[in-house]
A and B are shown apart, each in its own frame.
Chain A
Amino acid sequence: MVRHVIAPAKDLPAGNRIRVMIDGKPVLVLNIKGELFALSDTCPHRGASLSGGILTGHVVSETPGEYKYSRAGEILRCPWHAWEFDVRTGRSWCDPKRMRLMQLDVKIEPGASLVEGPYKTETFPVRIEDDYIVIETT
Chain B
Amino acid sequence: MNSNMNLQGAIDCDVHPLTPVPADLLPYMSDYWRDTLQVRGLDFWETIAYPANAALTIRADWRQQSPRADANPATMAKTLLDPHGFDHAILNCLFPLQSFRDGNMAAAFASATNDWLIDKWLSRDARLRGAVLLPIQNIELAVDEINRRADDPRFVQILLQVMGEQPLGKPHFWPLYAAAEKHGFAIAIHAGSTYHHPVTGSGWPTYYIEDYAAQSAGFHTQLGSLISEGVFVKYPKLKVVLSESGISWMPAYLWRLSKFWRGIRNEVPWIDRDPMHYVRDNIRLTLQPFDLPNDAVTAARIMEQLGSDDLVLFSTDFPHWQFDGDDMLPKGLSALQVRKILIDNPRATYSRLAAPVRKGAHP
Contacts and interface: CB of A to CB of B under 8 A. Distances in A.
Q: Do A and B bind each other?
A: yes
Interface of A: 56, 59-68, 81-84, 93-95
Interface string B322-351: 000000000000000000000000000000
B33 to A, nearest CB: 37
A84 B72 CA distance: 58
B133 to A, nearest CB: 27
A61 B270 CA distance: 5
Contacts, number: 38
A64 B228 CA distance: 9
Interface stretch (B95-103, B144-152, B257-265): B257-265
30 contacts: A59-B269, A60-B269, A61-B269, A61-B270, A61-B272, A62-B270, A63-B233, A63-B234, A63-B270, A64-B171, A64-B229, A64-B230, A64-B233, A64-B234, A65-B230, A65-B270, A66-B270, A67-B269, A68-B269, A81-B262, A81-B263, A82-B262, A82-B263, A82-B264, A83-B263, A93-B265, A94-B261, A94-B265, A94-B274, A95-B262
Contacts of A93: 265
Contacts of A83: 262-263
Dominant SS at the A interface? loop
B206 interface: no
Query: Nearest 8 pairs between A and B by C-beta?
Result: A64-B230, A82-B263, A61-B269, A94-B262, A61-B270, A59-B269, A81-B263, A64-B270
A74 B143 CA distance: 45
Interface of B: 171, 229-230, 233-234, 261-266, 269-270, 272, 274
A65 to B, nearest CB: 8
A67 B268 CA distance: 9
Contacts of A64: 171, 229-230, 233-234, 270
A63 B232 CA distance: 10
A134 B108 CA distance: 77
Nearest to B228: A64
Nearest to B267: A59
A65 B171 CA distance: 10
Contacts of B263: 81-83
Contacts of B230: 63-65
- Looking at B171, B229, B265, B274, which has the most chain A CB atoms within 10 Å of its CB? B265
Contacts of A84: 266
Contacts of B265: 93-94
A109 B40 CA distance: 90
A117 B353 CA distance: 76
A59 B266 contact: yes
B148 to A, nearest CB: 28
Contacts of A56: 266
